[in-house]
């Protein structure tokens, strides 16, 4: 009897030990499923489709995507690096406010800016209307930059994506010791020369990581480029799937975009792995140089204009548009859209953070190649555009649904319909794959400050892995996990291509409604859901700004 009880206890412990691996392995398989299914569907598709794409639109998609990528990455890196250097090492009027305001454009989806600026700068907009009224010119008597163009799309994306570079570059500059800078000046370098030859190269890994994030967000964008009529790969995937009903073409375009996105992810990972920082033994806070007169005004403008064009001005424009609209946010219809958005956001956020906690805990507690591989697979989704994930999930699940329905009809004369395809949970699964990397990053940032000796002490006191997570890690990780919940929630609110492709029938969100109204040229109506998306997106940005302010205050007090 004792042997049976002992054997049963061992079996129970074995099941408990294996269960997290089984769950994590299943979720990792789902995360990698879009990559595999897109690859298979692309090669199983007709070669005639690929030849037709190559002869017609493939070159146009490639050129537009590359040009857009180069423009957005270049200007985002330039703006973000310059602003980070100015607010970190100089003192000028308004610096303390601008240091935080520069982060606010993160709350805006690029397509919302596109709606606002089109309403103001397009031919019937207030700017050109006023210009014609003042000068008496006709429509063909003057030239005005076309907002609905590749350059306009690049500007919208730059305004909302430069904070990625700004945040990482600012952290890198703030962590540099002044001793290295002084050494360069003692060797005859001017302040600009020391920045160019010493500070900038030391911050290069952080700047490059921010630029890679900008690049991946750029190739994943659909709302902005589709509204401006810029034919990129993201637009091609959506058009092939819905307009032409050609899944093979959509899969082949997705494969091209997936390959390019994964290449960017590998480059970013290699760049991070090779980064080495060589600071002096003694850290000395970099003193701020007071800028006054013309230099102070130029520094103020360099930091004010990105925040003004990316946040302050769009809020004013959207508010004016919303006031002139007949759409009411508190109507039953809009409350339904808001409820759908919140349900999707909360569901995806909770599930994504739970998966990140599972993956991260396995990697920390059970150090092995399998745990490392699972964690890496979880990070892959951020490099994959939402449209690619949508196609990669719909193809295999649609095949499964159709096969199951055919079998049930033939065997039991029962139609099962579409169990997975077009369901909310498959859409939530796509969100989880897309934003799991962000949640993992927040988890790793929080767990990095937990001393491994605390884990050992908990083990000595008899805590298993579940007890260690529940009693030690979770209480310490609550701020980081809450931040991860907010980040994923806001990202889901802004996500457009995956929602458009995978949403259930007659299930619309604020983002989908804004896109639909803007596509019908009802920009004033599109401003109402857009403002709600921005308002919700501002919450985590405010928390991030408070964190930046607190960290900066602690550093300056300790200097």
Is-contact 113 154, C-beta < 8 A?
A: no
Confidence of residue 306 (pLDDT cuts 50, 70, 90): very high
How far apart CA 70 and CA 81 sit, in angstroms, is: 16
* Section 1-17 average pLDDT: 57
Condensed to tens digits (0 to 9), the pLDDT of residues 384-425 reads: 777 778 878 888 888 888 888 888 888 887 877 777 777 888
Residue 413 φ/ψ, nearest 5 degrees: 55, 40
DSSP, collapsed to helix, strand or coil, labels residue 290 as strand
pLDDT of residue 344 exceeding 80: yes
Residue 91 φ/ψ, nearest 5 degrees: -125, 125
Confidence of residue 341 (pLDDT cuts 50, 70, 90): confident
* Section 255-282 average pLDDT: 63
How far apart CA 229 and CA 225 sit, in angstroms, is: 6
pLDDT of residue 6 exceeding 70: no
pLDDT at 281 (0 to 100): 46
Alpha helices in 380-464 (DSSP H): 386-412, 424-447, 452-460
Of 172 and 229, the one with more pLDDT? 229
Nearest alpha carbon to residue 556 among 87, 69, 14:
87
Is-contact 183 176, C-beta < 8 A?
A: no
Confidence of residue 250 (pLDDT cuts 50, 70, 90): confident
pLDDT of residue 275 exceeding 60: no
The model's pTM: 0.79
Residue for token digits 């990792």? 28
Residue 273 C-beta-side C-alpha neighbours within 13 Å: 6
Distances (CA, A) of 527 to 121, 353, 521: 15, 31, 11
Lowest-pLDDT choice from 132-141, 166-175, 544-553: 544-553
pLDDT at 302 (0 to 100): 92
What is the torsion angle, in degrees rounded to the nearest 10, for the CA atoms of residue 126, residue 129, residue 134 and residue 137?
160
Condensed to tens digits (0 to 9), the pLDDT of residues 26-43 reads: 998 988 888 888 778 777
Condensed to tens digits (0 to 9), the pLDDT of residues 39-94 reads: 787 777 676 766 777 777 788 888 898 999 999 999 999 999 999 888 888 888 88
Element (H, E) at 345: helix 332-365
pLDDT of residue 162 exceeding 60: yes
How far apart CA 286 and CA 244 sit, in angstroms, is: 58
Of 317 and 273, the one with more pLDDT? 317
* pLDDT over 70, % of the chain: 79
Q: What is the CA radius of gyration of the chain?
A: 26
pLDDT of residue 263 exceeding 50: yes
CB atoms within 10 A of CB 312: 14
pLDDT at 156 (0 to 100): 93
DSSP letter at 503 equals P
Counting every residue written for the chain, the total comes to 559
Condensed to tens digits (0 to 9), the pLDDT of residues 420-448 reads: 777 888 899 999 998 888 788 777 766 76
Query: What domains are there in the chain, each with its CATH number?
Result: 27-274+284-558 (1.10.3720.10)
Residue 236 C-beta-side C-alpha neighbours within 13 Å: 27
């Amino acid at each position: 009897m004792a042997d049976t009880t002992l054997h049963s206890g061992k079996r129970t412990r074995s099941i408990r030990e294996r269960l997290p691996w089984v769950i994590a392995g299943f979720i990792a398989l789902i995360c990698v499923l879009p990559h595999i299914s897109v690859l298979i569907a692309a090669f199983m598709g007709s070669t005639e489709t690929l030849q037709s794409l190559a002869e017609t639109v493939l070159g146009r998609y490639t050129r537009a995507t590359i040009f857009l990528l180069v423009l957005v990455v270049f200007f985002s890196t330039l703006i973000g690096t310059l602003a980070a250097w100015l607010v970190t090492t100089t003192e000028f009027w308004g610096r303390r406010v601008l240091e935080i305001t520069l982060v606010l454009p993160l709350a805006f989806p690029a397509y919302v800016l596109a709606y606002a600026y089109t309403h103001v700068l397009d031919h019937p907009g207030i700017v050109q209307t006023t210009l014609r009224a003042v000068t008496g010119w006709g429509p063909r008597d003057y030239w005005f930059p076309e907002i609905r163009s590749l350059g306009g799309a690049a500007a919208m994306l730059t305004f909302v994506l430069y904070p990625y570079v700004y945040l990482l570059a600012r952290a890198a500059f703030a962590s540099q010791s002044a001793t290295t800078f002084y050494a360069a000046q003692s060797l005859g370098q001017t302040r600009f020369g020391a920045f160019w030859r010493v500070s900038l190269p030391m911050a290069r890994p952080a700047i490059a990581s921010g630029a890679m994030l900008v690049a991946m967000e750029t190739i994943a964008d659909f709302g902005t480029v589709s509204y401006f009529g810029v034919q990129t790969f993201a637009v091609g995937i959506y058009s092939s799937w819905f307009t032409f009903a050609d899944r093979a073409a959509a899969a082949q375009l997705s494969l091209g975009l997936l390959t390019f996105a994964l290449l960017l992810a590998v480059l970013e990972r290699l760049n991070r792995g090779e980064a080495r920082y060589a600071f002096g033994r003694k850290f000395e806070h970099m003193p701020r140089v007071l800028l006054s007169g013309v230099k102070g005004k130029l520094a103020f403008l360099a930091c004010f204009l990105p925040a003004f064009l990316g946040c302050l001005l769009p809020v004013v424009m959207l508010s004016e548009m919303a006031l002139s609209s007949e759409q009411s946010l508190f109507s039953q219809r809009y409350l339904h859209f808001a409820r759908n958005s919140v349900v999707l956001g909360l569901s995806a956020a909770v599930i994504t953070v739970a998966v990140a906690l599972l993956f991260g805990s396995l990697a920390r507690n059970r150090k092995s190649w399998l745990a490392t591989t699972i964690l890496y697979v979880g990070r892959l989704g951020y490099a994959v555009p939402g449209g690619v994930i949508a196609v990669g999930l719909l193809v295999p699940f649609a095949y499964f649904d159709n096969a199951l329905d055919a079998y049930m009809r033939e065997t039991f004369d029962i139609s099962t319909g579409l169990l997975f395809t077009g369901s909310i949970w498959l859409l939530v699964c796509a969100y989880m794959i897309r934003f799991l990397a962000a949640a993992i990053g927040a988890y790793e940032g929080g767990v990095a400050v937990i001393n491994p000796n605390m884990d050992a002490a908990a083990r000595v006191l008899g805590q298993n892995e579940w007890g260690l997570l529940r009693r030690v890690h979770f209480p310490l990780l609550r701020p980081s996990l809450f931040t991860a919940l907010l980040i994923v929630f806001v990202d889901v609110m802004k996500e457009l291509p995956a929602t458009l492709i995978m949403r259930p029938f007659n299930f619309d969100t604020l983002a989908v409604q804004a896109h639909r109204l803007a596509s019908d040229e009802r920009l004033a109506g599109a401003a109402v859901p857009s403002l709600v998306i921005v308002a919700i997106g501002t919450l985590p940005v405010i928390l991030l700004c408070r964190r930046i302010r607190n960290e900066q205050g602690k550093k300056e007090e300790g200097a």
